[in-house]
Amino acid sequence: MAIRKIRIEGDPLLRKKSREVTEINDRTLELLEDMKDTLYEAEGLGLAAPQVGVLRKVVVVDMRDDEGLLKMINPKIIEKSEETQINIEGCLSVPDESGYVQRPKELTVEYLDEKGETHKMKCDGYKAVCISHELDHLEGILYIDKKIEVDEEMLESEELLENEENGDTK
């Protein structure tokens, strides 16, 4: 397949809302494959279709775990915990920057796979961060819109330090 150009902050397309995929066809499957190739080429953890110039609700995520690559069509968070976590994040569309973001500690996402089958997946920790980050892209939101300042008390908390060791989501 092909490596697509990743849109960078300042590109107005990144601020637009994506539309649902109404039919999974060859174009959708090609987009998924191109996004996978682009993600691996850029050494990221997740990539949303708007980042490659397509305003469709399509996301790929690979946490480099046993689950491997997740290809998500029309993903939506259907449940999230009130408990939150603060992690450092980065983004392929905001190169050479990172910042702290507060997100749900746990969430459940519902999505279609490339065969059109519905899946529900519960995730927590950094996977929840990554999924939430990528789904924000589908709404025209970048992590820098949610960036927070952390104080020394937060930095000293063991949980935050543990999460920093996981690296940042790109």
Q: Give catalytic residues, as residue numbers.
A: 134
Burial class of 109 by CB neighbour count within 10 A (0 to 12, 13 to 18, 19+):
buried
Helices (H), the chain: 26-42, 125-137, 152-156, 158-164
Q: Which amino acid is at 58?
A: V
Burial class of 13 by CB neighbour count within 10 A (0 to 12, 13 to 18, 19+):
middle
